[in-house]
Structure 1
Amino acid sequence: MTTHIIRTEGAKLTVYLEGPEWEGAPSATLGDFSCETPEAGREVLRRAIEHIRDAGGDRVIGPMSGDTWHSYRVVSESDGSAAFLMEPTHKPHEAELFRAAGFSVISKYFSARVALAQTAQASPAASEAFEIEAWDGRNPEALFRQVYALSVEAFSRNAFYKPISESDFLAMYMPVVPMLKRELIFFARRPDGSLAGFLFGIPNYAEGPNPSAAILKTYASLERGAGRHLASHFHKSALQLGFETAIHALIHDDNQSAERSVAEGATVFRRYELLGLRLDG
């Protein structure tokens, strides 16, 4: 991926010229953004946009470190609580700097929390289309190879999707293996043994070595209802492990899982935005 790091006094960001498609056209993305002052932020954004324009680009997405497999989104609203593990974090003025540079919202997301004593009580009706099984804790590389294969299929229709190689995917996720808790990772399997869905949960180690919250980080399914069953098993297992709260992390506002999170009584504590700029407009 072609990248260009721009540093000014008090600010930096990375320009990724080969980002995902937006509105059917290729885009560049701006990621790894930080600034000490609004003035420094405005200047580094100006230089980045100029670099993209000089390279022939006419669509810019940010904040996004190249694609949706990596860090993206900016915090737009918060209750002030501490960031959870692997959550994007930005200073309050950074979203305003993007807007001042001409960016507008192109996608919205949220994170919510729910008491496990509340949500772990419900159980969806059994399905003949699949069964849920917990990860056995063995061969983590095989685990992530399965997660990669299903993710590519399940997420390929999502907005801003861009393919990633299996080797790059493994390089991202294998370092987190020491933090995994097998009781928070589940598969949905069809009667023939093929994978119908997965759920990847992890303790919120941002709280310290003995966190009270478990994060429902990512799940995907190819069978109707599998996501609900996976979430139910995650909530019940997290409660049995002694966790008090589940964090439903980084959900797209229009995703079916957003409706499910609301139905389970979760309370939104953070909102995020992805921003876009058309240079031909």
Structure 2
Amino acid sequence: MTTETLKTDDGQLTIWFDGPAWGDHAKVATVGKCKFPSAKAGTRLLHQAAGKAISAGATGLIGPMEGDTWHSYRLVSDQGTTKPFMMEPTSGPHDQQAFADAGFNIISSYFSASVPMSELPGARPHDTDAFTIETWDGTDPDGLFTQVHDLSCQAFANNPFYKHISLEDFLAMYRPVVPLLKQDLILFARNADGMLTGFLFGIPNYADGLNPKSVILKTYASVQKGAGHWLSYQFYVNAKAMGFDTAIHALMHDDNLSAIRSGLNGADVFRRYALMGKTL
């Protein structure tokens, strides 16, 4: 990725000049790694970033986003009262105001919610012959994440702000967390031919310490109708058996199916996030 960091005595940010697709824009840049000691300083840096993006041919600028949605993106728009969970994006107290004052608007909204395990897993989905659910056997993590990469690229290709990521870059992101993974929280759906049709990635919330009582449903994807429902059901069954008392539904888009299912499971929203955009 082509990047440039702007650093002054009162703040810094980084620009990625080859950002993801956004609407009708022919070329989009992103800004991330923002450190704004004040809204005024952040606004000034964002104006400078917009000027550089225009010079590079961009017609749209979005942020906070470290190049694409595979990496850190979004700012916290409603902090709530709970402490951050593992892998949760954070932002400074002046970030949202700085983006707004620099002419950015909210272009996508997200939330995280929690639900007591006592209220899960809910009704068992209907049995099906279309796929089977299995847990990771704990071996060959590169093989695991290669399968996850391939299905992710397929399942997320039509999502807003999608940008392809190479297998090498994808593995580089996930290898550091391998020692933290628990086999029973990594689930797959496979069809009768053994082909991967869905996956769910969960992880204990180690932000609570070495023996956390909350577990994060981080990501799931499916190209098979009904697989997502079964994956989440089995995740809750396994997590409950492991002794977790709270499930965190992490970073869901306001409009997607997982958000609807979270609400049906009785989850309470504890944090909100926003992605900001500006036409140049």
- The separation in 2 between residues aligned to 1:255 and 1:40, in whole angstroms, is 35
Contact 1:29 1:63 in 2 (8 A): yes
- The separation in 2 between residues aligned to 1:253 and 1:42, in whole angstroms, is 27
Task: Say whether residues 1:10 and 2:10 are aligned partners.
Answer: yes
- Normalised by the length of structure 1, the TM-score is 0.97
For 1:22, what is the secondary structure of its paired residue?
coil
Partner of 2:276: 275
Deviation at 1:227, TM superposition (A): 0.6
Paired amino acid for 1:109: Y
Paired amino acid for 2:18: E
Contact 1:109 1:273 in 2 (8 A): yes
Partner of 2:243: 242
- The separation in 2 between residues aligned to 1:269 and 1:248, in whole angstroms, is 10
RMSD, aligned α-carbons = 1.0
Deviation at 1:24, TM superposition (A): 3.1
Task: Say whether residues 1:98 and 2:105 are aligned partners.
Answer: no
Contact 1:9 1:40 in 2 (8 A): no
- The separation in 1 between residues aligned to 2:89 and 2:187, in whole angstroms, is 25
Deviation at 1:188, TM superposition (A): 0.4
Task: Say whether residues 1:253 and 2:254 are aligned partners.
Answer: yes
For 1:161, what is the secondary structure of its paired residue?
coil
- The separation in 2 between residues aligned to 1:234 and 1:167, in whole angstroms, is 28
- Normalised by the length of structure 2, the TM-score is 0.97
Contact 1:67 1:160 in 2 (8 A): yes
Deviation at 1:93, TM superposition (A): 2.3
- Among all aligned residue pairs of Structure 1 and Structure 2, give the percentage whose two residues are the same amino acid: 52
Contact 2:40 2:98 in 1 (8 A): no
Partner of 1:88: 89
The structure 1 segments of at least 4 consecutive aligned residues displaced by more than 4 Å after TM superposition are: none
Give the number of equivalent residue pairs.
279
Contact 2:36 2:94 in 1 (8 A): no
- The separation in 1 between residues aligned to 2:10 and 2:223, in whole angstroms, is 46
For 2:137, what is the secondary structure of its paired residue?
coil
- The separation in 1 between residues aligned to 2:73 and 2:169, in whole angstroms, is 17
The answer for unaligned runs of 5 or more in structure 2 is none
Partner of 1:76: 77
Partner of 1:126: 127
- The separation in 1 between residues aligned to 2:271 and 2:107, in whole angstroms, is 17
- The separation in 2 between residues aligned to 1:178 and 1:90, in whole angstroms, is 27
**Higher alpha-carbon deviation: 232-241 or 33-42:** 33-42
